[in-house]
Amino acid sequence: MDHKTTAGPGWNEGWLNTAKHHPSPNYGPRPPGAAVDLVVLHSISLPPGKYGGNAIQDLFSNTLDWDAHPYFQSIRGMQVSSHFLIMRTGALWQFVSCDQRAWHAGLSFYRGRSNCNDDSIGIELEGMDDDQFTEAQYATLQMLCETIDRQYAIHFVAGHQHIAPGRKTDPGPGLDWQRLQQWAALSNWEFPV
């Protein structure tokens, strides 16, 4: 695994100390020699369009009550995860160690490589593809990206829509990519737009 340091300040075996930890069983080891150089941004709300609550955390930990909402039947049995989730309030959750392979990208291809789960860090933003994200989310996202950049050899950032075109549309047009590009700490990252 390609780290900038073995244990940077604020990190413990791939877990960020400032995040709320909610370990997911949906992860696995990264392939030998995987160079973690990509951050993938996503958006999610459960049920779609509803914000707040614990449904996302429950989905990532395989404890979602499938009968709690009619929409949940369409995703029944799904086993997914992400490294991080940023709520509308800016609260930061972590589900999988960044040293491990979270199940967020699915069938994917980017920067000449397939299986983006192998060498990426997934960040979910609570939201919808066509909705705007909050100032609190942008503040947390900036802090998180800067923290990840100090710990891992990140070179690329992309949306789920960029690594799985035609299959995924998140985080969608509501994400202000120009704003992300202006963050000084990310100036060495390559963006898809």
DSSP one-letter code for 64? -
Helix (H, G, I), strand (E, B) or coil at 115: coil
Backbone angles phi, psi at 15, to 5 degrees: -100, 130
Contact predicate 137/143, CB 8 Å: no
**Consecutive H or E run containing 159:** strand 156-159
Alpha helix (H) residue ranges in the chain: 55-60, 135-151, 160-163, 177-182
- What are the residue numbers of the active site? 124
Q: Which letter does DSSP use for residue 172 in this model?
A: -
Using DSSP, state whether 73 is helix, strand or coil: helix
DSSP assigned state of 74: G
Dist CA 35 CA 147 (whole Å): 17
d(CA 85, CA 74): 22
